[in-house]
Structure 1
Amino acid sequence: MSSRPTPRRTVLAALAVAAAAAPLSAAASAVAATADPAGCVDHRSWTTFPQWAGGKGAGTRVLGGERPGLVLERPLGTLEYADPHTGTSARWEYASWSSPVHVPAAPATEIVVSWNARTPAGTWLQVELRAAYPDGTHSPWYVMGRWTSGDGPGDIRRTSLDGQGDGRSAVATDTLAVSDKASGVRLVSYEVRLTLLRRPGTALTPVVWRLGAMASDIPDRFTVPASRPGEGAGHRLRLPRYSQEIHKGQYPQYDNGGEAWCSPTSSQMVIEYWGRRPSREDLAWVDPSYADPQVCHAARHTYDHQYRGCGNWPFNAAYAATYPDLQSVVTRLRSLADAERLIRAGIPLITSQSFLASELDGAGYGTAGHLMCIAGFTEDGDVIAHDPASPSDAAVERVYRRRQFENIWLRTLRRNAQGQVRSGSGGVCYLYFPVRPTARQTRALASVGVR
């Protein structure tokens, strides 16, 4: 089961192999000696009026009100964009906004950017990231996504970009990572830049409500410390149950259903947990003979045309935030205790993990990359998962042993069936939650660094 075609994490897997094999340099040893042994995760979001106003806008305007955001007000000019996925070129008006420089709590080895936006037909946005190295030099401005919520005849096709790197860092679809962790190179600060685009001569504009970046340095490890059951034990949330497998062979243009759709299937379960779902009009394009047409809809609207799959992490989060009064982030958690606090506050999560069939009892499969939902915990602290890699909707709810689940989710290194070293997600998850969370939800989110 894999949410991502094999090339997706080729770069990161190669880094994992190199890190496991190479001795630490003096610089890397110094970093390791002062680092938190559990690793560091720093999530920074821009959501409030002062936060948006603190950036540098060029042709953009900050909206006030209950949900502040960024819009295109006065175009700086036009640019030509040749869409590699449609074979067409068009001119677009544009404006831009750059964040202040952010210094994470500790130097990072990886950064993932996510965003919440609305893009009316004929508009789109580009998200870029530039990082600073310890010697004071900078990476290029890396494109972390060209995104639109639609895919009509006047829209670009949402896409990541391959081939971005400078010898010290590189982008693997949705993740910027240092190229050699053992060298001591780290990402000590970063800036994020948004470019908002629209058809010339119109008054349309994208609206960006949330911009987030998760910088992390997780130690390379095959095994993580075990957590004890806590406040989430015995608590279960009522998520719908959707199987990705019943969609096998559906819509080859969106990666053919089945095992490729774990990410959008998981996203749809959590979106509907919050009471949102596509309208009948939204689903009119889906073959009426297909069960759970909303899963097909989610796959179409998370599809990354460069990656050729539906497993782009920020694209899934951005899709969830297209629903009214929902917001989303991509981040990392440090233990199942973090997940328990979220579950107890009523917030489910979507986790990314890789494992052999022998490493997760009851799964019945192995995977190089898979997304599933945590819906709760048993009284003993085991994980109640909604695993879309199930033969039917009725079979989606599973109970997985706490220790096994925690290790396959949080580790950064693993061995495949051939004994080769490969990468793990290091605790990556998607969090979807209301624009106006309850006080308890706000505290739970803050406890994992999301504000």
Structure 2
Amino acid sequence: MTGSTPRRTVLAAAVALAAGAVVTASGGPAAATGGPAAASGGPEAAPGAAPRPRQGPHLVDNQAWISPAQWRSGAAHGVRVEEGRRPGIVIGRPAGTADYTDPHTHRSATWEYAVWTSPLHRSTVPATEAVAHWNAHTPAGTWLQVELLGTYNDGSATPAYVMGRWTAGDGEADIRRTSLDGQGDGRSSISTDTFAIDTPATGLRLAAYRLRVTLYRPPGSRLTPTVWRLGAMASDVPDRFTVDASTPTYAGELEVPGYSQEIHKGQYPQYDNGGEAWCSPTSSQMIIEYWGRRPSPADLAWVDPSYADPQVPQAARGTYDYQYQGCGNWPFNAAYAATYRDLNAVVTRLGSLNDVERLVRAGIPAITSQSFLAGELTGAGYGTSGHLMAVTGFTEDGDVIAHDPAAPDDAAVRRVYRRREFENVWLRTKRHNASGNVASGTGGVCYLYWPTDPTPGQRTALASAGIR
């Protein structure tokens, strides 16, 4: 992608050379917040929100609200802070009601809501892109909406951008989880899950932002969503076709189960045409199970018992974005992982394979997003406009051990890829596609999942990546 198009890579079938289609909203429903007007930003400091350090050459800022003190530092309208081993926010006394017509089911309903708005966070990186994330519990019939309220570096405000409408379920009482394309002001826009400055060459940047989360439930219900983590990754990754090579620092491998997306071809085509496009949820499921979490038999009861690895269709169903019409929404994958017991999940960018080495050494795999031609990653045997795989270790020579779900079966998922090739296709932001045209790369995007009680070594490794 060139010009003003964001660097959002379409996460399509791993074997596809052409980019998958992103469904664009034609107007779409208005944001159903029913809450206070969007904050426009301002000069005040962000209490309880210390800036995160820049990460290597990427210039990445990670911010999250997770502690009781941080939750109390925001503006609450009907929200109550819950303490305990996993503190969060819930609906206390609803702030009001709002109507919402689901664009995917066309059902209209009235909802009680409560709103929490973060303090202003001044990014340590004047950013061209930002991706929000959240970890939450949404009982059947409840949902949440996350918005980004930004301030440009010229002091003016962005629109209140909807970054996602999320619920874990898709039953009769639930809305359909969805991103919302078609948002923009001529200076920035939203592409599925990513805020992006339309023309970075002008020097316009996102200087600061608030995140606003609105919690919804049926009127009169005692149910409530619980939000444990709310955050965003802001970045200004320089345009580059190649990146500097890193020097290997670690050899070792984690024991991660291997699942192939390809054995699910044709299964449940209502979720992005079946398994051939399930690289993201398949990678997520591998790492969820690495941490000892699995869906229950009741969760899997809907899956045809003749299908192998039923947890993979479950992950696809649980991450499917009805607007994007796919399972590759980055924050939705993180949110799905966080539905499992005591798991944290974020979307971020890393600066080199040395960052991944520190994480893997501490026992934390990384799910990386990359795109490449068939000849650019030796041993892959395919080209892709966007693909997720899990980095699970490094050889003595520093090459990458990856669990690649594009393998033909589970036994072939473990691959070894040449370090220099892998690092370049993952970290670059520009590439040439099969037609010879300039296309986008993700610039080091990855998902990180880890337990709520990490070891001291894991805390140190996460902190080195700007994550807490």
* TM-score tier (shorter): over 0.9
8 Å CA contact 1:241–1:269 kept in 2: the answer is: yes
Corresponding position of 2:441: 424
Corresponding position of 2:201: 182
Cα distance in structure 2, aligned partners of 1:295 and 1:3? 17
Corresponding position of 1:3: 11
Shift of 1:418: 1.1
* Counterpart AA for 1:264: P
Listed one character per residue, the Cα deviations across residues 138-176 of structure 1 (whole Å, up to 9, x for unaligned) are: 010000000000111000000000100000000000000
Cα distance in structure 2, aligned partners of 1:9 and 1:93? 30
What pairs up with 1:36-435 in 2 under 5 angstroms? 38-230=57-249, 232-233=250-251, 235-435=252-452
Cα distance in structure 1, aligned partners of 2:463 and 2:154? 32
Shift of 1:423: 0.7
Listed one character per residue, the Cα deviations across residues 330-360 of structure 1 (whole Å, up to 9, x for unaligned) are: 0000000000000000000100000001100
Over 3 Å counting, the alpha-carbon distance change for 1:177 and 1:2 in structure 2 is closer
Shift of 1:90: 0.4
Listed one character per residue, the Cα deviations across residues 25-70 of structure 1 (whole Å, up to 9, x for unaligned) are: xxxxxxxxxx999230000011111111111111001111111101
Partner-residue secondary structure (3-state), 1:403: helix
Partner-residue secondary structure (3-state), 2:227: strand
* Counterpart AA for 1:45: A
Cα distance in structure 1, aligned partners of 2:384 and 2:448? 22
* Counterpart AA for 1:6: G
Partner-residue secondary structure (3-state), 1:381: coil
Cα distance in structure 2, aligned partners of 1:115 and 1:339? 22
Shift of 1:3: 3.0
Cα distance in structure 2, aligned partners of 1:135 and 1:212? 23
8 Å CA contact 1:2–1:259 kept in 2: the answer is: no
Unmatched runs of 5 consecutive residues or more in structure 2 = 1-8, 13-18, 25-53
Cα distance in structure 2, aligned partners of 1:262 and 1:9? 19
8 Å CA contact 2:55–2:61 kept in 1: the answer is: no
Cα distance in structure 1, aligned partners of 2:412 and 2:175? 38
Corresponding position of 1:23: none
Listed one character per residue, the Cα deviations across residues 272-292 of structure 1 (whole Å, up to 9, x for unaligned) are: 000000011110000011110
Cα distance in structure 2, aligned partners of 1:361 and 1:258? 23
* Counterpart AA for 2:238: P
TM-score, length basis structure 2 = 0.89
* Counterpart AA for 1:262: C
Partner-residue secondary structure (3-state), 1:350: strand
* Counterpart AA for 2:193: D
8 Å CA contact 1:2–1:262 kept in 2: the answer is: no
Shift of 1:9: 10
8 Å CA contact 2:88–2:227 kept in 1: the answer is: yes
Cα distance in structure 1, aligned partners of 2:297 and 2:275? 23
Task: Report the aligned-residue RMSD.
Answer: 1.5
8 Å CA contact 1:78–1:94 kept in 2: the answer is: yes
Shift of 1:7: 3.3
Listed one character per residue, the Cα deviations across residues 289-347 of structure 1 (whole Å, up to 9, x for unaligned) are: 11100000000000000000000000000000000011100000000000000000000
Partner-residue secondary structure (3-state), 1:7: coil
8 Å CA contact 1:37–1:219 kept in 2: the answer is: no
* Counterpart AA for 2:275: G
Corresponding position of 2:28: none
Listed one character per residue, the Cα deviations across residues 384-439 of structure 1 (whole Å, up to 9, x for unaligned) are: 00000010000000000000000000000000011101110000000000001000
* Counterpart AA for 1:73: G
8 Å CA contact 1:111–1:216 kept in 2: the answer is: yes
Instruction: Tell me how many residue pairs correspond in the alignment.
Output: 425
Corresponding position of 1:14: none
Structure 1 or 2: more helix by fraction: 1
